[in-house]
Structure 1
Amino acid sequence: MSTAGPRATTLDLLARLVAFDTESSKPNLALIDYVCGYLDALGVAHVRIPNATGDKAAVFATIGPQIDGGIVLSGHTDVVPVTGQAWTTDPFTLRIADGRAYGRGAVDMKGFCALALAAVPDFLAADLARPIHILLSYDEETTCLGVADTIARFGTDLPRPAAVIVGEPTDLEVADAHKSIVTYFTTVHGHEAHSAKPMLGANAVMAAADLVSELNRIADAMIARGDASGRFDPPATTVHVGTISGGTARNILPKVCTFHWEFRGLPDLDMAEIPALFAAKVATTLTDRLNRYGDYGRIETVEEVAVPGLAPEPGSEAERLALRVAGRNHTISVPYATEAGRFQAAGIPTVVCGPGSIDQAHQPDEYITLAALEAGEAFMARLIAACVAS
């Protein structure tokens, strides 16, 4: 196969990718245009998959035979904000110093994207028996929905892969499990009245306090249940209220109170359990607390984000391949959520395995070590060997 076109190093490509400000609140199209131009110059088949509003897009590229059964290298192009962080230098200009490459997204996870793109000429030069796909997505940092439209096309107008490697930073350990994350906004609508006459209204803050207390109780129950697998830290499903706001004055029954909450579930948690427990408390709070003096109030809960967990699949195609290519003999779990659960929910074996440490992600002066990038290049070389030998 032809390898005509530009030959760029991993650092060259990382510098180009970091230079695009792709905070999740902003479009990523300039970066996608650059990547598509790079792939065009190499003669690599690819498809752009835009979002509904057209301000963001994913790109899915295939090197090797146009058949099912390939391997997807999945990375996201969006990054977390830099606002309020004390960076030593411009976060969108890659800086090399002390054996490290500094820049927003350097480790999370434009480093993996750069490694995959830099390896394309080597993928092309190899006689691949099974295809290697590169999927670059968007909105991972907010919803993990940037891969959904691509996944929906697998097995229709896009080849259906046999395995996915999500390249989040794991120091090239192979992670086969992570928790889910589901977030909600709950709004309690009360009715204003003088605080001296509470029977004339409905106190939204006090009703919300009952609901937050119930979330505390659920959290304690999850802690008591623990983690039978013994693989997670903390060793339980967690429940958390992050913000709460309501009321106008000390002597007015509050009209509105809103709180933002989440749970992060172990892979074996029934995703409907905690919402059902909370809904039961909402029902009693409406009758016993909010509307005890009349039909004054209501409670609304809106699901904001639901990211499925990643459950272990011992012996899966993804696990066996990643362990072989990474040179590992066991799997780990990770405490953060990724796009991996969405692939697995679609029936595609998936693991998380990428260069660098999550400890450097989301920080000012985020970095990936040059040694980690070198290890990533060796990972790509071994992946080629595995896909040639298949």
Structure 2
Amino acid sequence: MRRLLENRLVTMMPQTRTPKTETPQIMTPKEMLAKLVSFNTESQRSNLDLIHFCRDYLAGLGVESTLAHNAEGNKANLYATIGPKIDGGVVLSGHTDVVPVAGQDWTSDPWTLTERDGRLHGRGTCDMKGFDAIALALVPEMLAAPLKRPIHIALSYDEEVGCQGARVMIAAMAADGLKPAAVIVGEPSMMQVVTGHKGGLRMRTTVRGHAVHSSRVDVGVPAVMVAGRLIDWHNQVMAQNKTKADAGNGFEPPYTTLHVGVVQGGTAVNITAEHCSFTHEVRCIPGESFETYAQRYGAEVAALEAQMQAIAPQTGIDFVVTSDTPAMGPEENGAAEELCRRLTGDNGRHVVAYGTEGGLFQRAGWSTVVCGPGDIAQAHQPDEFITVAQLDAGTAFVRRLIADLARPAP
């Protein structure tokens, strides 16, 4: 068993599992998908039941895996290497968490894989347990190849809430000395090779006002109205970005967007609100800086806060960044892009507006692309599905990857 570094951060809490000796269970990608869907791994819940299943499944095949937990110990990433323990090879990266089903009108049980008209329905089938299932189900074929260069399977927690798990997992993988040549993030791309996506900066702002009767709003500080000015700042900046957009960059829309998603505040129509809070985000195109937007917003906050405190010194505005996930940009002569184009035959230029863990892998210095089965339009939807055809396409792709890595390195 690999000896773990004694000084690893407690938030990683790595654990290894001694391979079992019983007869391994062989599953098709569809059977594996049904099993993964059966675990309710909404982001607000633990994913440990799914992770422990994956760990034990791999152990039954003789594959050792490592778990890297969150600080609370109720969630974990898993990574495992199939093939020789050498530098190079490919990471197949997927997340295990899914978005909630509450409030959605499902026609079948979201936690039971249901096939209808060539579609496999269930929460996470598209985003992105379909890719996870393919990678896990084909491990016996990876072992039989045999591989000349390794495949690293990497399954993370909390991608849907700011890519929290991948940060811990990537650090743990690097600390274990893994040096892959390429990372394939299997988010749904209809098996197109995506070389760029926007990044996401998420924030929360709380305005502390001064409550008075609304008839004397001149001596009060209405937190809701102050928040409204900050919210409108997002509209103004986005409008400016739109006028400077490069229509040829491939993004839809082709500029950095700003958005406010949730607003809470106020107690009555005739009281100037004492509190108001809202959550907001910036989705940056590659090449633009989160820090620049945070600084610009911070300057706007400071100017409004000074006006508020001139009326009531105890008032103020608290602004925090809750997550920042970097954009993923096209690489010059990127190993991951070259590999996936060769295996898929896709030579088109594809970038997407949604974010993934790809930017974090790229920031770690690992060549990365997004390429996976399914249509992003089905992600997060009621009756979410992946088509059987797309699951088969993803399976064929990973089989071609196995064959490629079974050949001696060029």
Q: 1:197 aligns with which of 213, 216, 241?
A: 216
Matched, 1:376 2:394: yes
Q: CA deviation at 1:219?
A: 1.3
Aligned pair in 2 of structure 1 residues 165, 3: CA closer, same or farther (>3 Å)? farther
Q: CA deviation at 1:92?
A: 0.7
Q: CA deviation at 1:4?
A: 6.2
* TM-score normalised according to structure 2 size: 0.91
In structure 1, C-alpha distance between the alignment counterparts of 2:158 and 2:239, rounded to whole Å: 32
Contact 2:29 2:133 in 1 (8 A): yes
Q: How many residues align?
A: 388
Matched, 1:13 2:45: no
Q: 1:211 aligns with which of 206, 230, 234?
A: 230
Contact 2:210 2:312 in 1 (8 A): no
Matched, 1:338 2:356: yes
Matched, 1:349 2:367: yes
Greater Cα shift, 292-301 or 86-95: 292-301
Q: CA deviation at 1:154?
A: 3.1
Greater Cα shift, 229-238 or 290-299: 290-299
Matched, 1:124 2:143: yes
In structure 2, C-alpha distance between the alignment counterparts of 1:386 and 1:192, rounded to whole Å: 68
Could you list the per-position Cα deviations for residues 3-40 of structure 1 after superposition, in whole angstroms to 9, with x for gaps in the alignment? 96222111111111111111111111111111111101
Could you list the per-position Cα deviations for residues 221-267 of structure 1 after superposition, in whole angstroms to 9, with x for gaps in the alignment? 11112136521001111011122232222332221121221111101
In structure 1, C-alpha distance between the alignment counterparts of 2:289 and 2:247, rounded to whole Å: 15
Q: Residue type of the partner of 2:356? A: T
Matched, 1:385 2:403: yes
Structure-2 residue corresponding to 1:298 = 316
Contact 2:47 2:76 in 1 (8 A): yes
Structure-2 residue corresponding to 1:255 = 274
Q: CA deviation at 1:88?
A: 1.3
CA RMSD of aligned residues (A): 1.7
Q: CA deviation at 1:156?
A: 2.7
Matched, 1:57 2:70: no
Matched, 1:111 2:130: yes
Greater Cα shift, 123-132 or 156-165: 156-165
Q: CA deviation at 1:67?
A: 1.4
Identity %: 48
Q: Residue type of the partner of 1:244? A: V
Structure-2 residue corresponding to 1:90 = 109
Q: 1:41 aligns with which of 57, 60, 63?
A: 60
Structure-2 residue corresponding to 1:309 = 327
- Flag structure 2 segments of 5+ consecutive residues without an equivalent: 1-20
Matches within 5 A, 1:161-240: 161-227=180-246, 229-240=248-259
Q: CA deviation at 1:52?
A: 1.0
Q: CA deviation at 1:83?
A: 1.1
Matches within 5 A, 1:362-373: 362-373=380-391
In structure 2, C-alpha distance between the alignment counterparts of 1:361 and 1:216, rounded to whole Å: 27
Could you list the per-position Cα deviations for residues 199-227 of structure 1 after superposition, in whole angstroms to 9, with x for gaps in the alignment? 54322222222222222221111111213
In structure 2, C-alpha distance between the alignment counterparts of 1:206 and 1:92, rounded to whole Å: 43
Aligned pair in 2 of structure 1 residues 204, 21: CA closer, same or farther (>3 Å)? same
SS of equivalent to 1:365: coil
Greater Cα shift, 65-74 or 209-218: 209-218
* TM-score normalised according to structure 1 size: 0.95
In structure 2, C-alpha distance between the alignment counterparts of 1:275 and 1:31, rounded to whole Å: 37
In structure 1, C-alpha distance between the alignment counterparts of 2:79 and 2:317, rounded to whole Å: 42
Contact 2:199 2:327 in 1 (8 A): yes
Contact 1:165 1:350 in 2 (8 A): yes
Contact 1:202 1:296 in 2 (8 A): no
